[in-house]
Structure 1
Amino acid sequence: MASKTRLSAQKQAHALHVGLNEVSADGYAGWTGPLAACEFDAHDMAAIAKSQGMKSTLLLTKKATRAKVLAAIRSSAKALAAGDLFFLSYSGHGGQVPDVSGDEADKQDETWCLYDAQLIDDELYFELSRFKAGVRVLVISDSCHSGTVVRAGPPQPGTASQRPKLMPPTVARRVYSEHQAFYDKLQLGVQKASGNAVLDPDTALAQVAVSGRLTAIVHKFNPTVILMSGCQDNQFSMDGDHNGAFTEQLLKVWNHGQFKGSYASLHARVLAAMPPAQSPNLFTLGSAASFLKETPFLV
């Protein structure tokens, strides 16, 4: 009986690792967005998860569809309880669609470019909000997914071994034009499901929810979230031959588990090692103070 009690009290951890070296031309107006290191990034994040005793799901390129990614997130949301951990990593292109649910006509919603179609940030954070109170959610995103990249100007072309993880704005406009009804319906569906409140997850994650509109979203967020992303809003995450630039530095600092410190210090060390043109960001949502002090990836 005592053994069963201890077993039932053990913390669980699920991990989902998504890496795309290309996308489907059918879903992206003929663009395939070839990259080199995103599958490597996903495998390396899965190796970290395995070393910490996590149960992982790995979705690479053609398997990284909207349906499979959403199904994996929803499965973990149902299974995990207070004290458990959900580790989600993404490596691939970031994109944009016009925001049709917000209060700024020219605002762009950020996306992850999954194989068959984009996953909008509103959708992602709504799905994460379904996790139970007390669940710790860690998101590591090595992509360009900023709502301000157009205002920042186009990225540098990079080199043969370094490419920006960004769906070009011209492609983004074509994709949206060809699939406008689909993406508009997704945003409005999330808005309706959240009680018609306007979702602004980036602002919420930056902990500047000072308006009633934003507070209406934040106070419903039961889990605790740490999001470590590859760059600032006006920058671009770079791909490489073996890892993305952000993931490469994270792996070096982590050093096969030899790193001794917290999530906060892990981010600080990675940030210090990156060039000024790409400064990884750190966001939190919920009561994250104690989560930030934990040993990274600890179940």
Structure 2
Amino acid sequence: MATGLSIHIGLNQVDPSKYDGWSGDLNACEQDSNDMAELAEKARFTVTEPLLTAAATADAVTSALNAAAQQLVSGDILMLTYSGHGGQVPDLNHDETGDRLDETWVLYDRELVDDELYELFGKFAEGVRIWMLSDSCHSGTVARDLPQILSSHELGKRFNTDKPDEVEKQIRVMPLPVQSKVYKRDRAVYDEIQKTRTAKDLAKIDASVLLISGCQDNQTSADGLVNGLFTGTFLDVWSRGSFEGSYRKFHREILKKMPPDQTPNLYQAGAPNTAFTRQRPFTI
């Protein structure tokens, strides 16, 4: 009988001493993580203790994924969710042909580069399914650019404010000036991470990875009072388990409810597995 294991990461804040004084305050990321853990438990996944804010360090996330890789075998499934800020560092191993930037998860003590994540996925056995949900920004766009993209009416409706300078507090992206300062200060760390790892596009992954992200790489994800916009929409579409259909259909239904400037992405990596994408979400 297959095993389902889930790991949930949510950060409402980061350590200011590690991010040049920036604490990255958000409202809903811990709740996102707890809600996803609750859904996984109802679906009979074995739920690991959610990694929330100060507990969500790079070492803790890496250790949790390494432990999962040692435990799961062919036919098993890992559900991995992240809710928090997204960031970027310069791409040194040339796997990003567009913006030349590697996306990151902004963890409590440092950024986890996507090349690291794909290396960890490479440790899972052939036949393991990995379903990843990332409610974060994967964009270099800073909050102050948004008023140029959205009308005043849409800005107010989307972020429940008529003050553009408040938008940054409700966007899950590390501001560009902070990204620049952190990279300059810790460049040796992030450069070494990339130099010692295979580019993510070349990483050998025998497991089948299915990602549904909160937005496209060139977009931003909105925070919220209770849940992030993507996670809240996810929960609405899931409708307490009444949703019927495949992962692809689930993604399409989420898309229908999202604003045009935040378009969740469906992405596959590793070993192709058509049967996986045809399954109903949360199927063990």
| TM > 0.5 | yes
- Number of the residue aligned with 1:125: 118
- Number of the residue aligned with 1:21: 12
Show CA shifts across 1:33-66 (max 9, x none): 1000000000010011100111112100000000
Distance in 2 between the 1:105 and 1:227 partners? 20
Tell me which of 142, 167, 181 is aligned to 2:188. 181
Distance 1:278 1:52, change over 3 A: same
| One-letter amino acid matched to 2:64 | A
Give 1:122 deviation, angstroms. 0.5
C-alpha contact (below 8 Å) 2:83/2:136 kept by paired residues: yes
**Count of paired positions:** 265
Unaligned runs of 5+ in 2: 148-154
Distance 1:29 1:151, change over 3 A: closer
Show CA shifts across 1:166-193 (max 9, x none): 00111100010111111111111213xx
Which deviates more, 33-42 or 282-291? 282-291
Distance in 2 between the 1:288 and 1:281 partners? 18
Distance in 1 between the 2:273 and 2:252 partners? 16
- Number of the residue aligned with 1:297: 282
Q: Aligned pair 1:56/2:40, yes or no?
A: no
Which deviates more, 158-167 or 238-247? 158-167
| One-letter amino acid matched to 1:89 | T
Tell me which of 30, 34, 50 is aligned to 1:39. 30
Distance in 2 between the 1:178 and 1:40 partners? 32
Q: Aligned pair 1:141/2:139, yes or no?
A: no
Which deviates more, 166-175 or 285-294? 285-294
C-alpha contact (below 8 Å) 1:98/1:106 kept by paired residues: no
Q: Aligned pair 1:269/2:260, yes or no?
A: no
- Number of the residue aligned with 1:6: none
Instruction: Tell me the percent identity.
Output: 43
- Would you identify which runs of 4 or more consecutive aligned residues in structure 1 move more than 4 Å? 103-106, 150-153, 156-162
Tell me which of 92, 97, 108 is aligned to 2:89. 97
Q: Aligned pair 1:226/2:210, yes or no?
A: yes
C-alpha contact (below 8 Å) 1:152/1:234 kept by paired residues: no
C-alpha contact (below 8 Å) 1:99/1:105 kept by paired residues: no
Tell me which of 147, 170, 174 is aligned to 1:167. 174
Unaligned runs of 5+ in 1: 1-9, 192-198, 202-213
Give 1:238 deviation, angstroms. 0.3
Give 1:288 deviation, angstroms. 2.9
Distance in 2 between the 1:250 and 1:105 partners? 29
C-alpha contact (below 8 Å) 1:141/1:230 kept by paired residues: yes
Distance in 2 between the 1:155 and 1:127 partners? 34
